[in-house]
């Protein structure tokens, strides 16, 4: 394992200034109880259920628009099923990490809560893969392009939803 080298006397940073070990370190000042309370009040409270609800609305709207634009019910159902293959696993995961008995039991223990998060993320991935695998059997005359469009739109809602929620809470 290589040893950390100390700065040579006269060593310079990228702007040509001389520096020594430790000169780049900032002083750490812990927050007081009141400062921590104020910081928490300024931070946005993001609701996972709102994100899932927004995904559902986008999926329903995309399915309806696709069906109307193409005049094809199978395309509309394909878009809807693509969105559902994101929404249903996400809803199950949100329930698992926020409302389930396991979540309430593990809420006081950070490592156990993280393990619970990983468990529900695995369940979410397996359910999404299972739904996509079964799509040709569930949706008659499946349109793969429609399925992909619904899937991508529902996935992109995460970023849009976070942007909307953080923007709204910063305006308060």
Over residues 52-105, the pLDDT tens digits come to: 999 999 999 999 999 999 999 999 999 999 999 999 999 999 999 888 777 777
pLDDT at 1 over 50: no
Q: Assign residue 10 a region (left: φ > 0; alpha: ψ between -120 and 50; beta: otherwise).
A: left
Report the pLDDT averaged over residues 18-31. Answer: 66
25: confidence class by pLDDT, cuts 50, 70, 90? low
Six token digits for residue 87: 């929404």
* Residue 162 to residue 50: CA distance in whole angstroms: 10
pLDDT for 9: 58
Report the pLDDT averaged over residues 3-27. Answer: 59
pTM passes above 0.85: no
Report the pLDDT averaged over residues 9-21. Answer: 61
Count the alpha carbons within 13 Å of 108 in the hemisphere toward its beta carbon. Answer: 1
Helix (H) or strand (E) holding 119: helix 110-138
Alpha-carbon distances, residue 4 vs 21, 56, 76, 95, 120 (angstroms): 11, 52, 60, 47, 41
Higher pLDDT, 79 or 41: 79
Higher pLDDT, 42 or 4: 42
pLDDT at 129 over 90: yes
β strands within the chain, DSSP E: none
Q: Assign residue 5 a region (left: φ > 0; alpha: ψ between -120 and 50; beta: otherwise).
A: beta
**What distance, in Å, lies between the first and last C-alpha atoms of the chain?**
52
Axis-axis angle for helices 73-98, 48-70 (nearest 10): 180
Cβ(98)–Cβ(48) under 8 Å?
yes
């Amino acid at each position: 394992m290589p040893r950390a080298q100390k700065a040579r006397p006269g060593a310079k940073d990228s702007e040509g200034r001389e520096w020594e070990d430790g000169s780049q370190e900032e002083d750490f000042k812990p927050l007081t109880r009141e400062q921590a309370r104020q910081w928490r009040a300024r931070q946005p409270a993001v609701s996972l259920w709102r994100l899932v609800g927004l995904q559902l609305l986008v999926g329903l709207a995309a399915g309806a628009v696709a069906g109307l634009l193409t005049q094809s019910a199978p395309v509309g159902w394909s878009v809807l099923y693509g969105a559902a293959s994101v929404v249903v696993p996400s809803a199950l995961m949100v329930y698992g990490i926020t409302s389930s008995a396991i979540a309430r039991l593990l809420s006081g223990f950070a490592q156990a809560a993280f393990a619970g998060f990983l468990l529900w993320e695995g369940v979410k991935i397996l359910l999404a893969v299972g739904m996509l695998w079964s799509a040709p059997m569930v949706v008659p005359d499946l349109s793969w392009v429609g399925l992909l469009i619904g899937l991508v739109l529902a996935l992109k809602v995460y970023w849009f939803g976070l942007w909307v929620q953080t923007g709204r809470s910063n305006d308060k």
